[in-house]
Structure 1
Amino acid sequence: MKKRASVKGSTVNMPLVNPNAAGIDVGDTIHAVAVPEGRDETPVRSFGAMTCDLEAIANWLHECRVDTVAMESTGVYWKPLFSLLIQRGFEVYLVNARQVKNVSGRKNDEDDARWIQKLHSCGLLKSSYLPDDEQEALRTLVRHRRTLMQDRGRCVLRMQKALEVMNVKLHTLIRDITGKTGTRIIETILWGERTPECFLACIESNIRADRDILLKSLQGNWREEQLYLLEDCYTSYQYYTGRIACCDAAIERQLQRYRGDSLGDRHGHGKVGDG
């Protein structure tokens, strides 16, 4: 009991650093919001997580004369509300849960929001730079491109496995089966060719190997199910290659917008708790 009193009492006599601070406990479906005492008859409210609810949160914060907000969240639930509040002119902190956890007496989300508001009003929440909307958009596209590359890489591994099961030793001739030579050989196989001599025309002149070794390496057992897997994975590989090209174009457009904004004396306008 003494420990609880000391924890709660530690902020009672501290000066207000941010008198217009609000605290928000962000959840998947419910956001608990606390404003300073005396700003509303109900200084702690719970809102939904739909876009209309986020607008209602911003409107209420304006009505309560709030200018700075601290949010605690897990996952990515904070992103829509964070973006909206930034657009509406608030200073927004995204704080790490470790800064506000382990406080005795907090029983629910509204208690959490009230505690975050108290800590933020006393200036006790650490913060660091958070990328703005343009930078976050660029990071999102780059992460998506990385995922597409990983998906495409898995297609290549499956093609290699199908060729190996058919005892086609293509990987012993070339390092990259998706290069010019590898692509030509795979497409020739998928077109129905099975004679090793016919594959020789697909091989680039810079690939130096004995003719007999080439012929033996390209002689397979042509199992029907493996031919199907090879075709399916090659189709998927081409699909992901196209998606990566589209993603590259989106990244370039975002870079152009970012470069344009950089000329206008851009500054980051959000803060995030230390991770």
Structure 2
Amino acid sequence: MMAKQKTERPPTIETVNIGAAAVDIGSREHMAAVNPDVTDTPVRAFGTFTHDLHDLADWFKSHGVTSVAMESTGVYWIPAYEILEQHGFEVVLVNARYAKNVPGRKTDVSDASWLRQLHSYGLLRGSFRPSAQIATLRAYLRQRERLVEYAAAHIH
């Protein structure tokens, strides 16, 4: 009996999103990663103030980024999301549980690189984010609900 020869190679994952980047959102700084083939420093830290987020968008544009993945951590992602969207990027909001289950990533630097790599392969699914008009309406409705609750408490 002849032994079977393996002729097939293991499947490889192909890059489907060449302009992919990622941001690991933090309370004090954001770690951003771009394609390591286009720069010597593919990962960079940015502050959380508005001017820092505009610098982040400019850095992404200078490296040919078209789409950005970011984790939805607390409320820290909201200003980054809005500013990147204003600059014309496709922003994909990712639930942190989907990307965190892979071992071997211990720092924010590698988290950002890992997110970028997954995003470049098209493996990240974005969370629902309503349009700006709906988000504004939801904020008004929440505020109204709070005011009605406070008024009821004062009446009692």
Which residue does the alignment assign to 1:213?
Answer: none
Which residue does the alignment assign to 2:66?
Answer: 67
TM-score (normalised: structure 2): 0.89
Once the two structures are superposed, the pairs formed by residues 60-209 of structure 1 within 5 Å of their partners are: 60-157=59-156
Q: State yes or no: 1:41 paired with 2:49.
A: no
- Mapped partners of 1:150, 1:119: distance in 2: 44
Kept in 2, the 8 Å contact 1:24–1:71? The answer is yes
Please give the secondary structure, in 1, of the residue aligned with 2:100.
coil
Please give the secondary structure, in 2, of the residue aligned with 1:126.
coil
- Mapped partners of 1:59, 1:71: distance in 2: 17
Q: Deviations over 1:166-224 (max 9, x none)?
A: xxxxxxxxxxxxxxxxxxxxxxxxxxxxxxxxxxxxxxxxxxxxxxxxxxxxxxxxxxx
Q: For residue 15 of structure 1, what is the amino acid of its counterpart? A: E
- Mapped partners of 2:42, 2:12: distance in 1: 20
Uncovered stretches (5+) of structure 1, i.e. residues with no partner: 1-11, 158-275
Report the Cα offset of residue 148 of structure 1. 1.1
- Mapped partners of 1:99, 1:89: distance in 2: 25
Q: Deviations over 1:203-255 (max 9, x none)?
A: xxxxxxxxxxxxxxxxxxxxxxxxxxxxxxxxxxxxxxxxxxxxxxxxxxxxx
- Mapped partners of 2:16, 2:49: distance in 1: 32
Instruction: For CA contacts below 8 A with separation 6 or more, give which structure has more relative contact order.
Output: 2
Kept in 1, the 8 Å contact 2:94–2:127? The answer is no
Matched residues, percent identical? 45
Q: For residue 83 of structure 2, what is the amino acid of its counterpart? A: L
Report the Cα offset of residue 147 of structure 1. 1.1
Which residue does the alignment assign to 2:8?
Answer: none
Report the Cα offset of residue 127 of structure 1. 2.3
Number of aligned pairs? 147
Which residue does the alignment assign to 1:25?
Answer: 24
Report the Cα offset of residue 17 of structure 1. 1.3
Q: Deviations over 1:110-155 (max 9, x none)?
A: 1111110011000001125421222211111111111111111111
Kept in 1, the 8 Å contact 2:95–2:127? The answer is no
Which residue does the alignment assign to 2:52?
Answer: 53
- Mapped partners of 1:52, 1:13: distance in 2: 40
Report the Cα offset of residue 29 of structure 1. 1.4
Kept in 2, the 8 Å contact 1:23–1:34? The answer is yes
Q: For residue 126 of structure 2, what is the amino acid of its counterpart? A: S
- Mapped partners of 2:141, 2:30: distance in 1: 30
Kept in 2, the 8 Å contact 1:25–1:73? The answer is no
Structure with the higher helix share, 1 or 2: 1
* Cα 1:94–1:46 shift into 2, 3 Å: same
Q: Deviations over 1:74-93 (max 9, x none)?
A: 11111111111111100001
Max radius of gyration: which structure?
1
TM-score (normalised: structure 1): 0.51
Please give the secondary structure, in 1, of the residue aligned with 2:112.
helix
Uncovered stretches (5+) of structure 2, i.e. residues with no partner: 1-10
Deviating 4+ runs (over 6 angstroms): none
